[in-house]
Structure 1
Amino acid sequence: MHFALKTVAAAGIALTMASAFAQKGETVKIALIDPQTGLMGPVGLNQLRSWQFFAEKFSQSNPAGVKFEVVGFDNKLSPAESLNNFKAALDQGVRYIAQGNGSSVAGALVDAVNKHNERNPGKEVVFLNYAAVDPDLTNSKCSYWHFRFDADTSMKMEAMTTFMKDQPDVKKVYLLNQNYSHGQQVAKFAKENLARKRPDIQIVGEDLHPLAQVRDFAPYIAKIKASGADTVITGNWGSDLALMVKAANEGGYNGKFFTYYTGVTGTPSALGTGGEGRVYQVSYQHYNMGGQMGQWTAEFQKRYKDDMYTGAIPLAYQAVSEAMAKAKSTDPVKVAAAMEGLKFKGFNGEVEVRKLDHQLQQPLFMTVWSKTDAKNPYSPENTGMTLKPVKEFPSFIASTPTSCQMKRP
């Protein structure tokens, strides 16, 4: 009897240990739902490669001992198509989804994930948002199942205007943005922040244009020149920014641009050597970070003949794998709980998944379009130019409050 009890106890301990480390060796599938065709297709394809590249890197080494696999879905930048993609991913047994291009898409996916998780206990899904930056996603529309690894529109604008307030030559600003939630928020927060920090600055014009539909920005550039604006603030990305700066170069507009996405596919080539010292970007990374990120960037460029500019992706992998190790599980319910409040050292410094709203708190950088040099040698799209860092903002500078009332399971 004594022997039998010892055997049962030993078996129980073995079962507990097996359960505790059950995630080791497991393959975690992530569905990436983003455009891979159309005007924004080049951006989506770059980011699909980035997700797959980092799946390989983190599968080689991560604290949970899991393997990652990325399945790409082409949503054509459509919320409706994204919901079809989500259903297809669920049919494949995927429990983690990722998306970044378009906050309207992110909003539709947050709603779909919330409904699915409520109706299907035991089959919950976690949403890893790496680039959809509408602040509402971590405020009025916040969700327990949604985690954002990019800095939101308001955080970037907080840093951008903190920099702009010390630029005496910025006096007249034009706001040109895409007509959807992110573009609207850029305009809103730009006006609010400038009024608070530099009330002498005039907003001399404002336009919202259709997302990913405009092919000729010459009429907009003509309006900007006629307004007398010395500076343009834009949250445009992809073809909408590349075609805008191309039109500015061709139209002879010599003012400054303050942007969110100068480094994204197509825009460096559109700028070329034009815009030197006049085009700024605010972001959580830049091309010349050095260290591990510098090694990854160089390897990515060599492998794909393309630039790796979405550092939120390795941050997402790092957070998820550390949470899985902490939870000793790949179960999305346990992993979501473990990610709340998680702190770790990212490639850009100390970061924290804020428990209140699941918004990553992280340092931001202001960079300016410049010729490469010994200290900043990386040249996107072989332009001979780079985004040179001019100011770093610690997490607390760019942090913005949240109104999120998180409903936890």
Structure 2
Amino acid sequence: MNMHRFIAVPAALLLACAAHADPVKIAVLETLSGPQASTGQTFRAGVRYAIDKMNAAGGWNGEPVQLVEYDNQGGPAGASDKLKAAIADGVQIVVQGASSAIGGQITEDVRKHNLRNPGKEIVYINVGAEALELTGEKCNFHHFRLTGNAQVRTKVLVQGMKQAKALGTKVYAINQNYSWGQDMESAIVANAAAGGYQVVEKTLHDVNKIQDFSPYIAKISASGAQTVLTGNWSNDLLLMMKAAKAAGLKAAFGTVFLDQPGNIRNAGDTAEGHFIVHVFNAEAAGAEGARFVADYTAKTGHAPVFVEPQTAFGLDMVADALKRTKPVGGKLDVNAFARAMETARIKTPMGEARMRAEDHQILLPLVVSTVSKDARYKVDDTDLGFKPVKVYSADEAAMPVQANCKMQRPS
């Protein structure tokens, strides 16, 4: 509610309304312990920044938005248990990002809960789980993906590397063996004709269980691949970069998550010339990018890195939808909020992003960058940073709605 409206309301009525107003509760249900904790903690940092920003702008219905945090302990079972706890605590909006396996569990649990509890619905705000099925066969009215997916990431990465004349004719695909990694492998194969390359070998490996990637790096080297395309994240990318450096592998990496803290330090100078497709590059965003970096740094104590920008932008979309959702009996009508999310549109430092109502997949700008000593912003306390190659608008990056998304909306 606008602050000016409060002034016009008689004091007695204002007190009566306040007594019945329920604050919006947003839960971050993230991996905050175990081997993937560093990723979960960056998602949490982005959420905290965005909620603080919402509250500085007046919160919702004159009340601060409440943030509650739950550690899903890195697995679907833990996420399921913590989701039940969040529902019992009165949470209406759940935010999660690290791992599509966990995202798949949450979206299914949310769907079932909402079917069984009409009038007590919750919404899942997905800021990082990028498996295609979440906006495909598992799409549902109460799930919104506020990040990319394997199709759009790979399409843009391949185009950017080709434009930079850094995409070889022989490509090695290495990915984690679960929904996200399998989607990446399929997308790498699907883009071969457009990219003008041959996939010389494909590897799917266990997720976050491998301590030594040197055998995999040896296989890549033996394959003669000039380029490695990978969707790996967390320890699986950190340790792969370390092994690539130790072996002196010359192949260029095309990645989705190379900007995860530690990757460039682990790879050292061998990272120079590697590529990433990401949501934010401060240098590419110019004055708006510099303003966002300065504000984020002032509020959190560090520059926005890795998944933090996409999380902050995603929660800006939530703020936009909340602003347009009027309270019903002093409470948030979750279905009305979800309908507002379907038409959410925001301006990010990279350009406009908007929600696609048909499948609840955000359409957002993406940027392809290369690791270079010429980059304006350095990372990992090295002399390297991400030099922008090309920014792709939301429309340029978009892929069509998947045919198997059959969205069921509440009547």
The count of residues paired between Structure 1 and Structure 2 equals 388
Distance 1:235 1:213, change over 3 A: same
Give the distance between the partners of 1:406 and 1:22, measured in 2 at CA.
Answer: 36
Check whether the contact 1:23–1:324 (CA below 8 A) recurs between aligned residues: no
Check whether the contact 2:279–2:366 (CA below 8 A) recurs between aligned residues: yes
Q: CA deviation at 1:222?
A: 0.1
Give the distance between the partners of 2:229 and 2:279, measured in 1 at CA.
Answer: 18
- 1:307-318 matches, cutoff 5 A: 307=305, 309-318=307-316
**TM-score w.r.t. structure 2 length?**
0.88
* Identity of matched residues, %: 33
Check whether the contact 1:143–1:406 (CA below 8 A) recurs between aligned residues: yes
SS of 1:311's partner is helix
Letter in 1 for 2:408: K
SS of 1:97's partner is strand
Match of 1:173 in 2: 171
- 1:195-206 matches, cutoff 5 A: 195=193, 197-198=194-195, 200-206=196-202
Match of 1:144 among 141, 144, 154: 141
Gaps of 5+ in 1: 1-12
Distance 1:153 1:169, change over 3 A: closer
Match of 1:8 in 2: none
Distance 1:51 1:23, change over 3 A: farther
Check whether the contact 2:258–2:276 (CA below 8 A) recurs between aligned residues: yes
Distance 1:358 1:243, change over 3 A: same
User: Which stretch of the first structure deviates more once superposed, 51-60 or 84-93?
Assistant: 51-60
- 1:67-106 matches, cutoff 5 A: 67-106=64-103
Check whether the contact 2:248–2:270 (CA below 8 A) recurs between aligned residues: no
SS of 1:382's partner is coil
Gaps of 5+ in 2: 1-8
Q: CA deviation at 1:71?
A: 2.0
Match of 1:283 in 2: 278
Q: CA deviation at 1:326?
A: 1.3
Does residue 1:234 correspond to 2:230, yes or no?
Answer: yes
Distance 1:25 1:67, change over 3 A: farther
Distance 1:239 1:24, change over 3 A: farther
Does residue 1:271 correspond to 2:270, yes or no?
Answer: no
Match of 1:367 among 369, 373, 378: 369
Match of 2:150 in 1: 153
Does residue 1:392 correspond to 2:391, yes or no?
Answer: yes
Distance 1:334 1:22, change over 3 A: farther
Check whether the contact 1:24–1:66 (CA below 8 A) recurs between aligned residues: no
Match of 2:246 in 1: 250
Distance 1:266 1:25, change over 3 A: farther
Letter in 1 for 2:96: Q
Give the distance between the partners of 1:283 and 1:328, measured in 2 at CA.
Answer: 34
Match of 1:193 in 2: 191
Letter in 1 for 2:179: S
Check whether the contact 1:297–1:308 (CA below 8 A) recurs between aligned residues: no
Match of 1:3 in 2: none
Match of 2:41 among 45, 50, 57: 45
Distance 1:339 1:307, change over 3 A: closer
Q: CA deviation at 1:268?
A: 2.7
Q: CA deviation at 1:59?
A: 1.1
Give the distance between the partners of 1:257 and 1:363, measured in 2 at CA.
Answer: 22
SS of 2:174's partner is strand
SS of 1:350's partner is strand
Alignment RMSD: 2.5
Give the distance between the partners of 1:219 and 1:23, measured in 2 at CA.
Answer: 64
Give the distance between the partners of 2:385 and 2:245, measured in 1 at CA.
Answer: 17
Distance 1:23 1:370, change over 3 A: farther
Deviations 1:198-240 (A, max 9, x none): 3x42211111111111110000000000000000000001111
Give the distance between the partners of 2:384 and 2:49, measured in 1 at CA.
Answer: 25
Letter in 2 for 1:194: A
Check whether the contact 1:239–1:267 (CA below 8 A) recurs between aligned residues: no
Match of 1:121 in 2: 118
Q: CA deviation at 1:265?
A: 2.8
User: Which stretch of the first structure deviates more once superposed, 210-219 or 279-288?
Assistant: 279-288
